[in-house]
Amino acid sequence: MTTIGLVGAGHMGSGLGWALREGGHDVVTSLAGRSARTAQLARQARLRIADRPADVLAEADVVLVVTPPGAAVEAATEIAALAAGVGARPLVADLNATSPTTAGQVAQVLAAAGLDFVDGSISGPPPTVRPGARIFLSGPRAAEVAALRWTHATPVPVGDRIGAASAVKMSTASVYKGLMGLLTQALRAASAHGVLEPVVADLGDRFGSPYEVAMAATKAHRYVAEMREIAASQAAAGLTPLLFEAFAAVWADVAEQPLAAGRPETVARDITVRQVTDGL
């Protein structure tokens, strides 16, 4: 049995861990230094809990990293140090929402410690919320991660080049989260101008529901770094980074509002647009 180590067992990480455990893998993580919420999510997913992060690396054949985008290089540095300390050499797949440049930096950090790297990204919600997430993978050993028993999620190899999987995420997330940021700003402006009802009626359900806006608000603090990664990715493509630097500012502002203090798993499905704008 392939043992999967999980670095980051939050909302997405625990969902992926559950999907792999359902496929028959032994999935292990550590809760050292993690929040009570993360501990609850990991236990709900019935992940095996190790005492220390070093124990996870010592036991794992493959390590999946699911942290906030801004912590990707820091997480790789810690993994490299811990793996060296216990003499472990797992295959490390970073599934964070980062630019190809950041993915390259992560690969370099891990390579210096003798660890092979798979570039990865995730499109879709955690499998525990809705099955069907796509796991994009690239790099010389991407096929090995794709071959894991991904129940409730679909691996999508996109080539041998490190950075390709990250480039997919940067492009798709620019649409998904850019449009959600646009809708969020439109609703806030409409509410401030006293025209929320006609604006909602005109938009209909073409751009998202109040529930989706509220869900995005609870994750706004994570989106800030992701928008900056998208800006860097677009700059590397010869495009202006200004659009997504602005979206980073949008999500930073949303992250300071009362609605953002909630948790994705506790957002009411029947939340109204007025409740959303009041919370923003």
Write out pLDDT tens, residues 224-250.
999 999 999 999 999 999 999 999 999
Global confidence as pTM? 0.93
Burial annotation 76-107 (CB, 10 A radius, 16+ → b, else e) = bebbbebbeeeebebbbbbbbbbbbebbbebb
Q: Which domains does the chain have, with CATH numbers?
A: 3-162 (3.40.50.720), 170-279 (1.10.1040)
List pLDDT tens digits, range 16-67.
999 999 999 999 999 998 999 999 999 999 999 999 999 999 999 999 999 9
pLDDT of 205 > 90? The answer is no
